[in-house]
Amino acid sequence: MRIAIGGISVENSNFSPVPTTLPDFTVLRGDELLVGERYLGGVAQSHGVEARPDLTPGGVHVEFAPTLFARALPGGPLAADTYGALKTELLERLAAAGPVDGVYLDLHGAMYVDGMEDAEADLAAAVRGVVGPLPIIATSMDLHGNISAAYVREIDLLTAYRTAPHRDALETRQRAVRLLVRAIQEGLRPRIALVPIPVLLSGESTRTDVEPGQSLWASLAEVDAVPGVLDASLFVGFAWVDEPRAHAAAVVSGTDQAVIEHEARKLAQAYWDARHAFKFGVPAGSTDECIAWALRDNENGVFISDSGDNTTAGGVGDLPLVLERLLAHRIPSAVVGGLTDAEAVAACWQAGVGDAVETTVGGKLDTTHGQPLPVRGQVLALFDGDADKGRQAVLQVGAVKVVLTERRTAFMRIADFTQVGVDPLAHKIVVVKLGYLFPDLLRVAPKAYMALSPGAADQALTRLPYRRIARPMFPLDGEFTWQAA
Ligand SMILES: [Zn+2]
């Protein structure tokens, strides 16, 4: 059995003015795919060697043909020439791999290519064009992906994460490959039922570890077990792209058309019926409100998410708006984790540790939502040991430590702070450019608030200038009736 592996995994906000281009990607080619945790030790043992036994029911020999896998931090629209180059190389490698029984496409699902709608459908159709109609194409995706009928038509199997914040990325990839191997082995030709749901909510309001998300996503395992079903998925969708496919969706793969349609309708109806119950998992308010709440708390280390500039959802990561409010409120101590500004970093490196620096921070990339903030501060530390972040500098501005980074980044772990010598919990307020806190921060944060700040990942969806999404859409258009069909 031969299975090709490849994919382009990226999440693009088209409300960001900063394009995503080739240097933003980590690209794995050929056997590079099979080194490291993403596939080896998870999905494929190695090219041309036995796959892991637990992925191969019946002990069948699976040979994996790795092609190209490209992944980038969520960002602005993907430049068309970058997408073209990645797609072309993936297809060339796929063609060179020769005949395959199946293809495993490793995607995110919210790719937005400048000037093109439904990029995943374009990629899937191109892959189908290369391999022909017979091989089974299985894909795994983030539940924050946007699913269209055109995309589903090109593939045979689809599964998605069942946790947000995500804890099951590897498990999801394994499930996709296991289903693919099973389909090939048993000679199945799976079908996919898709029911679009006219609900568009942010990931922050649809977590799977609180109700109603917890029960909804937990119910997928029961659907998997229904005879005729192979896999059930529930997609929140990705709200920061203005495309007709931006909405929630229920997707069921299986072998019995009537059964998968019935189960997909049931899931879609359950999601629709729960729509009013989705809430942010933490108190959310304006930046000023969040600062006021934090100052009233007894604890130190109160986290505030600068959610409009959330770099894990396409925010640019250079907006200094929350920093400006912290300084205006004269808070006793705070740290801002991750503000991207290569020029300010260079100024700090030029000055050296201990020296004073007068510069502007942020607002140079996301000129749609912010502008540079003039500051005067002292360089506390310089660090150059994190490839994702580039050079970094800790600048003390008043009572606020600002961790400046050369490259766009997300502070998702405590280690992101400690590696530059900052103990976040020793400060009254800790600002991160996230929506919900990632597990490592959630574990230690005594309190967390979400600031509904402006930016390319604005959580106040009613503020976004949508023109292309399907209407009516809950909650943007208020109340309307709908039945899963
Ligand atoms: Zn996601």
CA of 473 to the centre of ligand 1 (A): 21
CA of 238 to the centre of ligand 1 (A): 8
- Asked whether 320 and 454 are in contact (CB, 8 A), the reply is no
CA of 456 to the centre of ligand 1 (A): 16
The number of beta carbons lying within 10 Å of the beta carbon of residue 307 is 31
CA of 313 to the centre of ligand 1 (A): 8
Please give the full DSSP string across 393-405, using - where no structure is assigned. Answer: EEEEETTEEEEEE
CA of 203 to the centre of ligand 1 (A): 7
Give the least confident one: 3-12, 35-44, 120-129, 356-365.
35-44
CA of 294 to the centre of ligand 1 (A): 27
CA of 353 to the centre of ligand 1 (A): 38
pLDDT tens by residue, 384-397? 999 899 999 999 99
| pTM of the predicted structure, to 2 decimals | 0.91
CA of 142 to the centre of ligand 1 (A): 5
What's the average model confidence in pLDDT over 84-90? 98
CA of 25 to the centre of ligand 1 (A): 18
CA of 236 to the centre of ligand 1 (A): 9
51 pLDDT band, cuts 50/70/90, is very low
Report pLDDT for 196: 98
Q: Is the pLDDT of residue 48 over 60?
A: no
Q: Is the pLDDT of residue 44 over 80?
A: no
What's the average model confidence in pLDDT over 155-160? 98
- Asked whether 327 and 397 are in contact (CB, 8 A), the reply is yes
CA of 161 to the centre of ligand 1 (A): 8
Report pLDDT for 39: 66
Q: Is the pLDDT of residue 403 over 60?
A: yes
What single letter denotes the amino acid at residue 209? D
Total length of the chain: 485
CA distances from 261 to 32, 182, 195 (A): 39, 21, 8
Residue of 41, 8, 38, 42 lying closest to 25 (CA atoms): 8
62 pLDDT band, cuts 50/70/90, is confident
CA of 191 to the centre of ligand 1 (A): 25
Mean confidence (pLDDT) of the chain: 93
Give the least confident one: 18-22, 50-54, 433-437.
50-54
Q: Is the pLDDT of residue 32 over 90?
A: no
What's the average model confidence in pLDDT over 207-225? 97
Supply φ then ψ for residue 231, to 5 degrees: -160, 145
What single letter denotes the amino acid at residue 99? P
Residue spans per domain, the chain: 2-277, 284-458
CA of 112 to the centre of ligand 1 (A): 15
Give the least confident one: 57-61, 67-71, 124-128, 294-298.
57-61
Report pLDDT for 45: 44
Q: Is the pLDDT of residue 446 over 60?
A: yes
Can you read off the two tokens belonging to residue 263?
Answer: 């189960």
CA of 175 to the centre of ligand 1 (A): 17
Q: Which residue has the higher pLDDT, 485 or 473?
A: 473
Report pLDDT for 33: 85
What are the residues facing 104 on neighbouring strands? 5, 138
CA of 52 to the centre of ligand 1 (A): 27
What's the average model confidence in pLDDT over 149-166? 96
pLDDT tens by residue, 115-151? 999 999 999 999 999 999 999 999 999 999 999 999 9
Omega before residue 135 within 30° of 0, cis: no
Residues of the chain with pLDDT > 90, as a percent, come to 88
CA of 141 to the centre of ligand 1 (A): 9
CA of 377 to the centre of ligand 1 (A): 36
CA of 198 to the centre of ligand 1 (A): 19
Can you read off the two tokens belonging to residue 438?
Answer: 């990632």
CA of 74 to the centre of ligand 1 (A): 10
Report pLDDT for 46: 35
